[in-house]
């Protein structure tokens, strides 16, 4: 799960890079960049949840 979380972080970054390189219009570029950052945040949540499970941290 932790590996998947870090993979999501990287994939989100690649999405942002792809938006910068491939999309010439600022509107569509902004939408894809925000999507990339959302994927990164998903990865961050996944890594955090895995850390909490590993350390038996109760909320």
Partner 1 sequence: MNPLSLAPQPLSEAGTLLVCVLVLMVPLAIAGLALLNTGLGRSRSAAQSMLGSICILAVAAISYFAFGYAWEGYAGLPQHTVSIAGKPWGWLATGPFFLHGLPLDGSPASLAALLQIFGVALAALIPWGSGADRLRLRAGCLSTVLFAGLVYPLFAHWVWGGGWLAQLGANYGLGRGFADAAGAGTLQVLGGLTALTIVWIAGPRYGKFERGQQPAVFPGHHIVFVLLGSMLMLAGWIGLNGAGALLFAGIAPGTIVLVAVNTVLCASGSLLTAFFVTHYRFGKPDASLSANGWVAGLAASSAICASVTPAAALLIGMMLGGAIPLLTETLELRCGIDDPTGGISMHAGGGLWGLFALGFMGRFGVPVLGQLLAQLAGIATLLGFVLPLAYALNWLLNKLVAFHSGGEGERAGMDMYELGAGAYPEFVIYADEFLPR
Binding positions for partner 1, rule: CB under 8 A: 6, 9-14, 16, 20-22, 26, 29-30, 33-34, 36-37, 40-41, 43-44, 47-48, 51-52, 55-59
Nearer residue to partner 1 within complex by CB, 1 or 14: 14
Q: With contact defined as beta carbons under 8 Å apart, do 44 and 5 qualify?
A: yes
Nearer residue to partner 1 within complex by CB, 1 or 29: 29
CB of 11 to partner 1, least distance (A): 8
Q: How far apart are CA 33 and CA 11, in angstroms?
A: 12
Q: With contact defined as beta carbons under 8 Å apart, do 51 and 2 qualify?
A: yes
């Amino acid at each position: 799960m932790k590996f998947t979380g870090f993979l999501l972080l990287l994939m989100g970054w690649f999405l942002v890079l792809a938006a910068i390189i491939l999309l010439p219009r600022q509107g569509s570029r902004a939408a894809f960049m925000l999507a990339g950052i959302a994927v990164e945040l998903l990865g961050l949540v996944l890594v955090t949840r895995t850390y909490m499970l590993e350390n038996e941290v109760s909320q």
